[in-house]
């Protein structure tokens, strides 16, 4: 029963993640075709937010990939994908300003971002180690290995949960500043909200999948006891 219900629950979460990813791509592509009134590219919008907030030590760079945009707090660099960096669309500006929001979080010492950054190496170690330990533990019927693997996997779940307030706050900052600085105008701001809301749902889905996987592992381990 645990196996069947656990797999069904995880399958439902994976379906949720699939639709969340499809949703962000569809929403981005829709508003990527809508040019913003000021004609600002993603790079220019990010630069405006940075300079308006006195951040002159953060660079904005182009990076390969599709929706591979991110802020690197160690290098103090906003890396924007090619569809965002050079494009003057509502979607491009929304994504770029979201990443600028992360730079502001870093500069202001936003606690959830600091926690997530500090926890990243632990989460990476846990994610890489958990599955081999759990698999070997079940294969050898060694409960201690299974339990250690579950603890390690919980590190990646904690990281996913820490990511949620970081991403939602960055989007909130971006929406406020795009309106405050006149980067987007009128209906463009509601379009930006749709883009950022769709993107946020992918993080919610990722956290839900990680939590669901952890619950499944716990149920499987308890069934063996």
Neighbours of 106 (CB within 10 A): 19
Partners of 70 in beta bridges: 79
Residue 91, token pair as written in the block: 């979607």
Catalytic residue among 99, 167, 180, 188: 99
DSSP 35: B
Q: Is 78 helix (H, G, I), strand (E, B) or coil?
A: strand
Q: Is 61 a catalytic residue?
A: no
**Is the Cβ–Cβ distance between 139 and 112 less than 8 Å?**
no
CB neighbour burial string for 58-81, b if at least 16 within 10 angstroms, e if fewer = bebeebeeebebebbbeeebbbbb
Q: Which residues are the active-site residues?
A: 99
């Amino acid at each position: 029963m645990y196996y069947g219900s656990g797999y069904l629950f995880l399958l439902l979460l994976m379906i949720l993640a699939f639709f969340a990813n499809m949703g962000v791509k569809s929403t981005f592509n829709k508003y990527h075709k809508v040019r913003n009134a000021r004609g600002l590219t993603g790079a220019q919008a990010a630069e405006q937010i940075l300079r308006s907030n006195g951040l002159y030590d953060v660079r904005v760079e182009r990076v390969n990939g599709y929706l591979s945009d991110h802020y690197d707090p160690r290098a103090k660099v906003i890396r924007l994908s090619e569809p965002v960096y050079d494009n003057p669309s509502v979607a491009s500006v929304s994504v770029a300003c979201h990443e600028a929001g992360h730079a502001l979080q870093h500069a202001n010492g936003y606690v959830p971002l600091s926690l997530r950054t500090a926890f990243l190496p632990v989460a990476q170690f846990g994610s890489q180690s958990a599955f081999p330990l759990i698999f070997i533990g079940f294969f050898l019927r060694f409960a201690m290995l299974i339990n250690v693997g579950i603890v390690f996997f919980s590190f990646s779940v904690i990281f996913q949960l820490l990511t949620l307030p970081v991403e939602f706050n960055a989007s909130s900052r971006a929406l406020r500043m795009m309106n405050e600085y006149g980067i987007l105008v009128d209906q463009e701001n509601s379009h930006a909200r749709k883009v950022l809301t769709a993107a946020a749902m992918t993080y919610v889905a990722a956290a839900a999948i990680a939590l669901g996987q952890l619950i499944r592992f716990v149920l499987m381990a308890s069934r063996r006891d």
